[in-house]
Structure 1
Amino acid sequence: MTCQNCNIRPATLHYTKVINEKKAEVHLCEQCAEQSGYTSFFQSSQSNFSFHDVFAGLLHGESTMFGEGKNGFSNTNTVRCPGCKMTYEHFTKVGRFGCASCYDTFKGHLNPLLKRLHGGHTEHCGKIPERMEGNIHLKKELD
């Protein structure tokens, strides 16, 4: 796709505008985008965007429907993983667990987070191939 402005260079920035319920797509090359005032959000020098910050914001949700403190837990700092000694507070700062034991240790803290992230769905309910569906249900009943 070529730039809609100069019709010479390939369009590398693609924007979709919705104004008064009307959708308009803009396809510009980098030079024309800069001249027109469009900048890539992730490349802008004014942007301090960080996926870590977004994730940390989810971890530090202000919802108090589960209890008193952040994420509804009043003693999240005292729980430590027996494997790596990581605290939940440290997990919220780093954004990843230190070892496999962390998943079991912080399971109670993760359920409210996962419910927020996945709209209340915390169990996988994937598709089953049609020809296997009957066998799987029978196997579950036998177990």
Structure 2
Amino acid sequence: MLCDDCKEKPASVHITKIVNNQKTERHLCDSCAEKAGELSFSTEVNFAFQDFLKGMMGSSFAALPQHKSEAACPSCGLTYGDFGRSGKIGCGECYTVYGDRLEPLLRRIHGTSCHTGKVPRRGGGKLALRQRLRQLKGDLDRHVSREEYEQAARVRDEIKALEGRISAEKG
């Protein structure tokens, strides 16, 4: 396949962009891709996580809501402006101090602002059961709203069995 721009060299860079549900594809050679500003083929790689965050938020963190009072975290002294410049949180307390401003950012990057990581094998059995119960209740609500009553009944029975298991482990 030849480059879409110069039509001479073989295309080695394939770019797919989706904007407003419109998919566009470009197939470029190295030099045309670099000229178009799509990629840089320098030998030096300078990738940092804060650059990734800045890319997720646009060209800079200027889009983040700024507050007039630059209150600093009482634990580490980081201001919200410092976070905007570096893309790094200073400590765990920063999540509490700047929570109202960080939550939209976390939702945009991760899809949620609630951690749903792995459950430890040892001692995590009860937590895993509660997470499964929460998931099943969500499934039940979806099935009922879609009027899928047979699946809803199956999920309801599984919920009852799981609730029995949880109460048996408590007692």
Report the TM-score range of the alignment, normalised by the length of the smaller protein: 0.3 to 0.5
Structure with the largest fraction of helix: 2
Give TM-score, length-normalised by structure 2.
Answer: 0.42
